[in-house]
Each structure stands twice: as C-alpha cells, then as structure tokens.
Chains A and B, each alone.
Chain A
Amino acid sequence: MNIFILIPLLPLIAFLINIIFGRGYIKDKAHLIAIPAVAGSFVISLIALSDVIGGKTYNFDVYSWIVSGDFKVSVGFLIDQLTAIMLLVVTSVSLLVHIYSAGYMHGDKGYYRFFSYLSLFTFSMLMLVLSNNLLQLYFGWEAVGLCSYFLIGFWYEKKSAADAGKKAFIVNRFGDFGFGLGVIMIFLVIGSIHYADIFSKVGGLQGQTIFILGYDVDLITLIALLLFCGAVGKSAQIPLHVWLPDAMEGPTPVSALIHAATMVTAGVFMVARFNPLFSLSEIAMMVVALTGAITSLFAATIALVQNDIKRIIAYSTVSQLGYMFLACGVGAYSAGIFHLYTHAYFKALLFLGAGSVMHAMSGELDIQKMGGLKKYMPITYWTFLIASLSIAGIPGLAGFFSKDEILWLAYNGGPIGKIVWMIGTIVAGLTAFYSFRIVFLAFHGKFRGTHEQEHHLHESPKSMTIPLIVLAIGALAAGWVGIPSALGGHNQIGHFFEPLLGHPHVTASHAEEYQVMGLSVLVALGGIGFAWLFYYLKPIIPRLFAYWFKNIYRWLWNKYYIDELYEHIFVKPAFWLSRSVLIAVTDSKIIEGLVNGIPHKIRDFGESLRKLQTGHLQHYGIGMAFGLFTVLTLVLLLTK
C-alpha cells in the first residue's frame, strides 16, 4: 500500500463520517473531523513534493475501474512535478479555508453539512490532480463540479443561491459535453486513455485527419479543442464564464477555495497536463491563447464598475484564469502553472479578506456602503492590501514574478504572442485599478453604511485572521521561487517544471526584458494611481465618467448582457420547445394520433371495457386461459 493513497483518502473518510453521523451526533464538532484529515493530506503532500524535488516520480494503478472489451481504465495515481505543485496548492489552501470556516460558519445550522462538502471537495480535487488517466480526471472534474453545486447552493432556501448552483452545473455540462467527446476520440485513435500511453503515441497522430460532419479535420487540433471545451467551462472562460460570478452566492470560504484557488484552475491544469498534445497544434494553441487573452480583458472591464465586493473578485478570477490560458497558449505552460500557484494564495486571501469584511458588516457586499474599515479591522486591511499589491503586480510580491514571466514569454511568442502580450499589459493596468478601487472604497475614507453596522464593526476572530496572515505570507513570498535571472534570481520553479512542461525559446535580450517588465510595473502603478485619484481624492470623477460614457457604463454594468442573451437563445427556446411543441403538439397530437390510430376511441373503448374490468382475478385467469387457447389453436392450425 502506497502512503500517497492517503492523500485523497483522508478527506474522503472525513466526508463519510461527517455526512453519516454529522446530523445526529457530531453537529458543531464537524471541523474536528475535517481539519485533521486535510492537515494529514497536506503533510503527505509535502512528502510527495520533497520526493519529486529529489527526482522521484510515481505512476501506479490502484485498481481496475472499468473494463469492456479493449477499453480498460484504472484508478491510478501519477505524482510528478505538476501534480506535486497542485497537491501543495490544493491541500494548503484547503487546510487554511477549513480553519477559517470553523470561525466563519460558526453557528450555521448546516455546519456539519458544510464541512462534509468541503471534505468531499478536497477529496475530489485531489483525485483530479493525482489521476494518471483521463477518465479519473473526468471523475474528479465532475465531482468537484458537484461539490461546487452543493456549496454554491448551500443556503438553498434562497432562490438566487439555488439558481446559481444549478446554473454552474448546467453551464459546466456544456463544456463537459466537448470534453467527454475528446476523451472518447482519444480512446478511438490511441486505444488508451492513460496519460503515459497518450503522450507516447500522440506524436504519431501528427498530420492525420478525421472525417467528421462532412469535413476533414486535423485530428490533434480536434482533440485538443474538444478537451479545451471542458477547460473553458470549468475555468469560466468566454463563452462559458457566466456561472462563476453567480457562484458567489455560496459562503465566502467556498469562493476562496473552489472558485479562486483550486477548482477553477483545473482547466489550466488539464491544458498544462496535455501540453504534449496542445503543443502539436498551432491552431489549438492560438485558440487557447486568444480565448485566455480576450477573457482576461473582457472580465477585467466588467470588474471596473461592479459594486459587489465578491463579484469584483470573481471577475478578477475569470480575468486571471484568462492570463493563465494566455500563458499556456504561447507555450509558457510553466509560467501559467506558476501563476496558478501564486494566484491561489493572493486570490484566496482576497476572498477570505472579503469574507472577513462581510463578517464585520453583517453580510453587506456593496463596497459603496463600506469605507474606513482600515481602523476597525487592521489585520484584514493589511492582508487585503498585500493581496491587492500582489495581484497588481508590484515588484517583490508573488503576483509580480508570475505575471511578469507570462508577459515576457508572451512577448517572445511570435505575432500571436505580441497581440496577447499587449492585451495582457492592458489587463495588468485594469487589474491594479479595480483591485485598489476595492481597497480605497472599502478600507479608506469615511464609513458609508448604517449606524447599526458601524456599531458592530470589529476585527474577525483568530481562526479567521490567522489563515489571512498565513495566506498573506504566501501572497508576499510564494513568487520568490521564480525570480528571473534578469533580476538576479534562478527561476527555480521554471527549471523544476522544465522536464515536464518545457520552456519556450527566448531570443530577446535582457534589455528588452527590463523594458517589458518596466512597462507592466508602470501600468500597474498607473492603475493604482488612478484608483487613488478616483476613489480617494476626487470621488466625483467616477460619477462623471459614468455620466459621460453612459452607454459603455451600462454595457459594463450589465456584463455585456451575456446572461440575457443566453436566456433568449437557449433557456427560453428550450422550454418553449418542450411545452409548446413536444408536449402540446408532437406527443399529444401527432404521435398519439398516428400510433393510436383513433386516439379518442380509446377512451370510449375504455368505458365499455370498464364493465368487463371487475377486479376479480379469476375473470382474468379465464381471459388468460382463453388467450392461451387461441395461441395454441393458431399454432396447431399453422403447423398442419
């Protein structure tokens, strides 16, 4: 028995204990089961990481899951560089969120349920990243989606929460539809869905085409794009991003864990995992890069004008995930994963900080109604500030190094790279702006809420502030493993990933690197400066802007009306088709008419049969015997 099996198993056990005994026995002690379990997973993950750093990787099957003819798939674990980092991210953030939740969810009537779902989520996410084959990845993929559904709709009495959970699940299914077909395609052309087989044989597929729906399509491009559909859903990229902002209906620790640090990054993880496949298709790479770039710009612009603190951070997440795809799309997978890793800490911190604010403000989300919180909750303020500086890309903090690596490699990535680099730089400015918009509106200036709220303002309890402090350390220092040589560092993480994820060829000089870096820092400082000007010095300016650019403002405020669009082209037509066509016409008129021949006659016939229908078994027995007799006679006559 391999000790690494315990990594996912411990949270699974915690889930089973809490879900079965939670309601009757454990109740508000549920965290005492869940926290040690995830702490155990964290410790074993550290062992795994140190093994991998030491040069060891593992790939083993646990048991054979589905076998049908030549289709075989196991439950199995692969622990390599990529997995090891993901394990670290998942278990560490999960542990902190567990601890934080013990304070945040205290007194909620669904306390045990909450911890059950957190454990189940942690288990599922670990199964996803540990998988050594596509189907187990798919299992984890769907299972994290399920937990997300449960946790978004945790307060299910609220319609908006129940709706948001359902929306997340169904929108993701659109992505899974493509992903599932991708898995099937891979099996059909490679004959296996285990990573090792896929990656060793994928090179042989180059140049092959497949005839599908009337077209000859490049096989590798098709497979890569199908898989990418899944990533677009899970990682909330255009056009399937609509579920993530709504997902903020869930409790805030969930937003930090699932909708910022871990689950939503599964798409990036998957693309990086399949880098041997994606890298073989220029078209697929271009689609990934452009989807990421466009999404990151699109989401950042929406974030500029929103007032709901969690939704701003959610759009920020969509935007940052776009950044990661942008990196993958230019071949800078290791930079993408590096950003995934730093983002996990500063974004989780932003969410938990927002949760701390909500905790003090009795659930208030509107940043226009906050202000001056700095003096009431200093720990929350300082940690939130560190996270904001980190996401803005201020030199020295974690976010700076990963973002800089992405932009630099994009800059070197040919014509597409240049385009996405430009978009990325603009987004860097927008990111700094909207992040500091929160900082200034919520923490500086005067308090704008009700007196009652002001009276209650307080710093959060230790179980919440300690995770904030730990994450702040991460948001500050997590990037120091990736200091580029241009700044005198060794980029250890880049070298760590190189055997697995490769490293794009860089032709430009150090001088250019300084320019690229300087530009993004300048843009970030500009963003912060404008935020300071708009929301601290002259609060009249944003109102004037909203007035001058009314139409643009309305589009941004309404998130480009994408939800409304989908409502009209998918949801309503589907229900209309169901009710007004299939139920009202096809089934009841056409089919009943055709198949029954004379449908209304049935009822009349029924009336006359009712007299026969006496309810006495013996009558039916006689009927049956008569029927049998008829059959026998028929056979006898025919055989003569």
Chain B
Amino acid sequence: MINQLEYPLLSALIFLPIAGAIFVALISRAKETWIKGTALFFTSLTFLLSLLLFTHFDKTTALMQFVEIGEWIPAWGVKYFLGIDGISVLFILLSTLLSILCVTISWHSIDKKVKEFYASILLIEGAMIGVFCALDLFLFYIFWEAMLIPMYLLIGVWGGPNRIYAAIKFFLYTLVGSLLMLVGIILLYLFGGRTFDVLQIMNVNYPFGLQIILFWAFFAAFAVKVPMFPVHTWLPDAHTEAPTAGSVILAGILIKMGAYGFLRFSIPILPEASVAMAPAMMVLSVIAIVYGGIICLGQTDLKRLIAYSSVSHMGFVTLGIFALNTQGVEGGILQMVNHGIVTGALFLSVGIVYDRTHTRQISDYGGLATVMPVYAAFFMVFTLASVGLPGTNGFVGEFLILLGGFTASKPLGIIAASGIIIGAAYMLMLYQKVFFLETNTKVARLKDMDSRELMTLLPLLILVIWIGVYPNVFMGFMDESVKNLLERVNNTQTLPPDLSRIIEGNK
C-alpha cells in the first residue's frame, strides 16, 4: 500500500463535492446563477484535482495507491480505509468528468428546485467517488446506499411524467439487492476474522459452500446495478423518466458499480465461487447482449432505446469480466469506461434536443442532419462508437471482450459476436429516423448546438477518438491490477474456467 502524495487526495475528492453541496444549500434560492456557478466550480475543481490521479498513478504496481487509513469504529473493526488501484482509478476520473457535464447540460433545462437539484448532483458525485475508493466494506456500503437517495430524488423530482413509478421501481430493485449484499457483508465479517478491511478479507479462505452463498448475495446487488438479464427492467423506466443529468449519471457511473463490485469484491474475495459460477454469468451476459440488442429494434422512444442498448453493452462487460482472462477483464474494464463515455454522450445528446422539443418519440424527429449539422456530426461519432467501429473507443473494448470471451467459450463468443450485427442495425435505424430523411416539420426550426452544449459534448468526442486510436494510455493503468486479480483466480484449486467443456458436452 502506498500513498505517493503528502495529503489525502481521495478524501478531498469525496468531500469536495459534498462541501459543494453544502455551499449550494446555503445560497439563497433566488440566486440561481450563483447556485449553478457554485456547482460548476466545485465539479470543475474536483475534476482538476482528480487529474492528479492521472498524472501520479503508478502503473507499475498492483498495490493500492493514494491510500488513507484510519480507525473509525474500533469496537467493530470498522476503518476509514480509502485506496485505489488500476481497476478503480479510471472510474473516478470518469465520475469527475461526467459530473461537470451534468451541471452544464442542466443549465437551462432544470427550472424547479434548482438548489436541491445541484446539491443532489454534488452529493451523488461525492458518494460515487466514495464507492470507487472505499476499501472497507462498511464504508463501501455507506457510500453505496448514500448514492441511492439523491439518485432516487433526481428521477422522482425532476423526471418525466411517469417519474414516481420509475423512481420507486429503481429504489425497490436496488434496495432489495443491497439488503442481500448487506447480509453478505455481515457474513464476510463474521467468518473472516471480524474485519471489514477488504484487503484482509481477500486473504481469508472462505469455505466453498459459503463462497457460493456469498457470491449470490453480492450478485443480487451487483447484477441489479449492472443490470444483468433478467433483473434489468428497472433500467428502461429509470432512464426514460430521469432528467438528462440523471440518465447520464445512471448510465455513465451508477451501472458501472455493479460490474466494479464483481471485480473488486466477488472475484478476489470469492475466487473459487467466481470460477464455478463464471459459466452461468457468461450465459446471462450473452443473453443480455442478444436480448438487449433485439429489444432495441422495436423501441419507439429515444431514451428507452439507448437504455436497452446499455443492457446489451453491459452484457459485453460482464462477459469479459467472467471470461476471467486478461483480454476479457481488461476489455471489460475499458468497455465500462467506454460505455460511460459513449452512453453518457448519447444521453447528453438526447437531452440537447429534448430541451428544444420536449419529446422523446423517435417518430417526432427526422431530417435533423439538415437542421442541426454540427449536432448530427457529434451524434454520428457517438453512434459509431456505440456500434464499435474501429478507430473509436467502443471497438477496442468490444474486440478484447470478444477475444477473451471466445477464448473462454467458443459458442458463447460466437453468439456474443452476433451482437455487433444487431448493434449496427438498431443504432443506424435510430440515426436514420432522427437525422436523415425529409425534415420533420416539428423540428424544422430547431437551432444547432450553442457553445455551452458543444463544450459539453466535445470532451467526450475527444475521448472517443483518443481511446480508439491510442488506448494504451488508458489500458496501461489496469495492466498490473488485472494481472494480480487473475493470478488470484488462477491460484484456486477448482477447474479452470473452460466453459466450452460444460456447454459442448464432454469430448
């Protein structure tokens, strides 16, 4: 464990936005510009601060870095323990970036309870970063739950017409999952020497039967968040009803936490169970890829389509993770980042036209390429990234996942690869209906993006191309940590994760 800085950077990243939320709460309700300005200031400051992670991260070690450790509740062995490694570092950067964009995209579109809105965004940001930094299960659980409430509010207060239903559905799903995880955490604690310290727990050998129980307990929380098939049905509703910023946070960060949970907790703490359950997880992933893709073909609502596409894309992520080989896991992590960038960008983009038209129906659009050419060009790049075109970030992740998935199981790899056909079909169909053909009279007078909107999308566009053309900058972060993770898995006594044997029958 190391901390290369003299000061507690991670705590600063967590509490700066929370302090920002307090500041926002103190500003008079009437001074809306001040509220927005404060939110922008704190999110930007947090982002700048997080860049230190980018520059100071040591890529040559799998140890936890920027570590802060302190006693918190000694009687229970609860520690205030923060640290990051190659698996978590990119998500913190993504969180701080997307938070700024959530503020700028909401600038004009949120006009009620402005103060609470920006305070919620800042609180979510703090909690998100906390989730990715926490190395104490108790602390992790607090951040995990703390995210839920402001997110619930974002959907329930600032959402669309059906927001209450969506918010409660979201809340109940995640709550049920979280409660099972809580039971799991308590079991880990009791059987693991009464500590919540993740690094210590990793070195405990839990009996196989218990591991399986724990695996499914954590699965309940993580699979709902991802969301994996068949617990995905909260996602389309939540995404569709959430305000743009809410969708961006949901798609960009929140649903990554499920996959992150598998990588941070399930696999290293329960390696035997993970190996044993990997086939089942891969099968669920492949179902999600195909199912989520085909269901997109019939969608009529812009946000709903993108939401279902997330189910498909996250299926790729979990497929890669549970392939349990280098390419799969690295591809999975990269694809999580990519999906955050691309789907975040797509939701931001949809928000841009939604602010103008207040409709999400695909059939209300048409011919936008003529009316909003710059916007159309940006949307095209994000569409291509979503489709996984080489040269964009989506390709690198998807290719590595397919490589890893195919290595682990040929049949599943082949089915997963069919996702690239379906993906092209629904995204191009969407693009055609919205941007091509005769200009729909309903959208004929729309203005192209203004500079605020342009600057919101531009960083994501740059990242799409950057990661697509030179991914090593980003993949370099994860190499050592992934290697370390897989060594842990490979040291287990159970069968190697060769799924083909199970699926193809004995030979």
Contact = CB atoms under 8 A, between A and B. Distances in A.
Given A583-B295, A617-B119, A212 B410 contact: yes
B428 A578 contact: no
A405 B167 CA distance: 71
A71 B417 CA distance: 19
B186 A613 contact: no
Nearest to A113: B373
Interface in B417-453: 417-418, 420-421, 424-425, 428-429, 432, 435-439
Nearest to B411: A213
Given A69-B326, A639-B190, A177 B168 contact: no
B330 A627 contact: no
Nearest to B419: A177
B400 interface: yes
Identify the 9 closest CB pairs spanning chains A and B, nearest first: A69-B326, A578-B298, A579-B298, A139-B390, A156-B436, A578-B297, A162-B436, A582-B295, A606-B168
Interface string A191-229: 000000000000000000001111000000000000000
B141 interface: yes
Greatest chain B CB density within 10 A among A19, A69, A174, A615 is at A69
5 contacts: A23-B374, A66-B396, A177-B420, A211-B504, A610-B164
Interface in B143-179: 145-146, 149, 152-153, 156-157, 164-165, 167-169, 172
Interface string B395-410: 1100110110011001
Contacts of B507: 211
A592 B233 CA distance: 7
Interface string A151-186: 001001101001100100110011011001100110
B310 to A, nearest CB: 14
Interface stretch (A258-266, A486-494, A533-541, A630-638): A630-638
Contact of B410 (A174, A213, A591, A609): A213
Interface string B335-369: 00000000000000000000000000000000101
A181 B370 contact: no
A603 interface: yes
A184 to B, nearest CB: 5
A596 B395 CA distance: 35
Interface residues of A, number: 76
Contact of A181 (B295, B406, B429): B406
Nearest to B152: A620
A518 B187 CA distance: 87
A587 B389 contact: no
Contacts of A577: 294
Given A170-B428, A173-B421, A582 B165 contact: no
Contact of B373 (A23, A174, A634): A23
A174 B25 CA distance: 54
Contact of B402 (A19, A180, A586): A180
B116 interface: yes
Interface string B267-289: 00000000000000000000000
Contacts of A549: none
Contact of A602 (B165, B391, B437): B165
Contacts of B391: 139, 142-143
A603 B156 CA distance: 14
Interface of B: 25, 76, 113, 116, 119-120, 138, 141-142, 145-146, 149, 152-153, 156-157, 164-165, 167-169, 172, 182, 186, 189-190, 194, 230-233, 291, 294-299, 325-327, 330-331, 367, 369-370, 373-374, 377, 384, 389-391, 395-396, 399-400, 402-403, 406-407, 410-411, 413-414, 417-418, 420-421, 424-425, 428-429, 432, 435-439, 469-472, 475, 483, 500, 504-505, 507
B222 to A, nearest CB: 15
Given A181-B406, A617-B119, A578 B295 contact: yes
A174 B231 CA distance: 30
Nearest to B501: A211
A180 B164 contact: no
Interface string A242-273: 00000000000000000000000000000000
Contacts of A603: 165
Contacts of B297: 574-575, 578-579
Given A211-B504, A574-B425, A610-B164, A184 B298 contact: no
Greatest chain B CB density within 10 A among A157, A169, A617 is at A617
B interface SS class? helix
Given A180-B420, A595-B233, A617-B116, A609 B504 contact: no
B76 A636 contact: yes
A426 to B, nearest CB: 35
Contacts of A185: 406
A503 B390 CA distance: 35
A213 to B, nearest CB: 6
A71 B110 CA distance: 47
Given A620-B149, A639-B190, 20 more contacts: A65-B472, A67-B475, A68-B327, A68-B330, A139-B390, A141-B390, A143-B390, A143-B391, A157-B370, A157-B437, A159-B437, A177-B418, A181-B417, A213-B414, A579-B297, A587-B233, A587-B295, A610-B164, A634-B186, A639-B76
A149 B168 CA distance: 43
B165 A66 contact: no
B153 A66 contact: no
A579 B153 CA distance: 32
Contacts of A565: none
A65 B471 contact: yes
Given A176-B420, A575-B298, A184 B406 contact: yes
A327 to B, nearest CB: 29
A532 interface: no
Interface in A383-411: none
A64 B470 CA distance: 8
Contacts of A166: 428-429, 432
A624 interface: yes
Contacts of B417: 177, 180-181
A582 B116 contact: no
Contact of B421 (A146, A174, A582): A174
